[in-house]
Structure 1
Amino acid sequence: MEESLSLFSAEDIERYVNEYAIPWGINIAMALIIFIVGRIVIGLLLSVFRRLMAKSKYDQMLIDFLESIISAVLMLFVIVASLDELGVDTTSLVAILGAAGLAIGLSLQDSLKNFAAGVMLLVFKPFRAGNFVEAAGTAGSVQKIGIFTTTMTTPDNKEIIIPNGKIYSDNITNYSAKETRRVDMVVGIGYDSDLLKAKQILLEMCEADERILDEPAPVVAVSELADSSVNFTVRPWVNAADFFAVKWDFTEKVKLRFDEEDITIPFPQMDVHFHKDEEQSESK
């Protein structure tokens, strides 16, 4: 042991300390300081971000996701700065990370498309959870809007999960966006029925239903002289929640009331005529 120590003189030890130990110690200390201070700064920035977003009306899911993305990106910068202080070639590291990100992006094109569409849906909010919408060829109530998919429940209680990319790239019809809706119905009567009486009955039925709004006033008008019927267009306005109930109830009441008032509702009929071939009958 004494022989091994004797191989290093005091001058050698001092030189190693000055050339390696002190510089490396300083670099490690600076890297730790950069990392710790960076973590503190990131925490402060995220705190400011949370306070600003709390005042907005953005969805909490979007806020949490953006916060995680910002945190990861800022943390990456802190780590690169710390490694650079230690003398690591961060240029190559950044190039490798960039190439890896490009490869991942190309392999996840559809997922990134759905992600971008999810962000747009959460930011611009063409619909919210609970709205009844028609999108991507599906109609139903929105249960959840996620980053990549939207979950809907159909009127017959089937759960459908739709990629956000399909929703955002197509037309979106939001039936719950407005407080009121117009019910469009067509009622036909026979040509031999009393037209003015039928019109008055339809107007009275609109006035009698408390769910039908006074403003805008309901419209009852003759819209078509069809092949076998005179068609009325009936257009009352209702609260959005009463749309289907009013449409179904009104249709049933029209049939019952017209039966009471002897007003006929035409239905398709076909007359078949048989012609006897005289020549064939004589030959027999």
Structure 2
Amino acid sequence: MEAIVGKIYQLLTVYGLKVIAALAIFIIGRWVAKGVRKLVERLMAKGRVDGTLISFTANLAYIGLLAFVIIAALGQLGIQTTSFIAVLGAAGLAVGLALQGSLSNFAAGFLLIIFQPFKVGDLIEGGGVFGVVEAIQIFTTQFKTADNKTVIVPNSKLTSDNIVNWTVKGTRRVDLVFGIGYGDDIDKARSLMADIIAQDNRVLKDPPPQISVSELADSSVNFVVRPWVKVEDYWGVYFDLTEKIKKTFDANGVSIPFPQRDVHVYQHDADAKEKSA
């Protein structure tokens, strides 16, 4: 009995301190990891970084530190962690290869959140989609199109192609083309269009709208009409000006030519019969 008690006492003496040290490493290390996570969140919040990225980066830092603490605690107990680390590395490599596409989307999402070529609420064209950005997530970006469809695009598709941001400058140019007949008065047509544009409060004064003759086409003299508007007023101004200019031209005798074709029919058989008779 004394031998057994002595053996237990010896084991407690040898391993008890190691267990206590391992627990201390784990508890203190976990506390430090939580502190680092809070510090990362605080610093990134001061830098006005996107909330999604703050949460992800802070949790990633916490998990990485916690894994290091667990390995250190196991090493304190005398457990060989070399093979354990090797297994984790091999497993990480396998997972990385299996999730190659997802990791590509993740990296692209990270870049989008860091560099912010666009933000939620912007009207952009990218990844084959034209719409308003509703959400920027780690793996995907969600759009709302003009016909009220929700389109979800992988982030890697956005970063691998051109991104056109229609909102970031705040204004857009409305490009319109109107043609008048060669017999119509150019100055009169220009004056009518200038008056219509001046009456629309949505058209910006600076930069001033452009009304210029752009082309002497086959059947018309073409004007380019280019007023500047706020991004949200673009389509309203586009449609309203098109309609008002057409009605004003009609009311003031300015013609808008349209393609015409004359068809001549020759009856060869009838002509031949008349000559023979």
What's the TM-score bracket when you normalise by the shorter of the two chains? over 0.9
Structure 2, unaligned runs of 5 or more: none
5 Å-filtered alignment, 1:177-216, equals 177-216=168-207
Query: 2: distance between equivalents of 1:67 and 1:96?
Result: 25
Query: 2: distance between equivalents of 1:47 and 1:67?
Result: 7
Tell me the percent identity: 47
TM-score, reference length from structure 2? 0.95
Contact kept, 8 Å, 2:36 with 2:61, in 1: the verdict is no
Partner of 2:9 in structure 1? 17
Q: Any idea what SS the aligned residue of 1:127 has?
A: coil
Q: Any idea what SS the aligned residue of 2:164 has?
A: strand
Please list the CA deviations of residues 153-183 of structure 1 after superposition, one character each: whole Å capped at 9, or x if unmatched. Answer: 1111111111111111111111111111111
Structure 1 position 276, deviation (Å): 2.6
Partner of 1:272 in structure 2? 263
Matched AA of 2:74: L
Query: 2: distance between equivalents of 1:78 and 1:269?
Result: 83
Between 273-282 and 106-115, report the one with greater CA deviation: 273-282
Partner of 2:229 in structure 1? 238
Matched AA of 1:33: A
Matched AA of 1:108: L
Query: 1: distance between equivalents of 2:245 and 2:124?
Result: 29
Matched AA of 2:43: L
Which of 50, 60, 76 is the matching residue for 2:41? Answer: 50
Matched AA of 2:26: F
Residues 17/207 of structure 1: CA separation in 2 closer, same or farther (3 Å cut):
same
5 Å-filtered alignment, 1:1-284, equals 5=1, 8-9=2-3, 13-14=5-6, 17-18=9-10, 20-277=11-268, 281-282=272-273
Matched AA of 1:197: K
Query: 2: distance between equivalents of 1:90 and 1:269?
Result: 86
Please list the CA deviations of residues 187-226 of structure 1 after superposition, one character each: whole Å capped at 9, or x if unmatched. Answer: 1111111111101111222222111111111110000111
Structure 1 position 147, deviation (Å): 0.7
Structure 1, unaligned runs of 5 or more: none
Q: Any idea what SS the aligned residue of 1:234 has?
A: strand
Contact kept, 8 Å, 2:141 with 2:154, in 1: the verdict is yes
TM-score, reference length from structure 1? 0.92
Query: 2: distance between equivalents of 1:270 and 1:163?
Result: 50
Query: 1: distance between equivalents of 2:242 and 2:104?
Result: 45
Q: May I ask how many residue pairs the two structures share in their alignment? A: 275
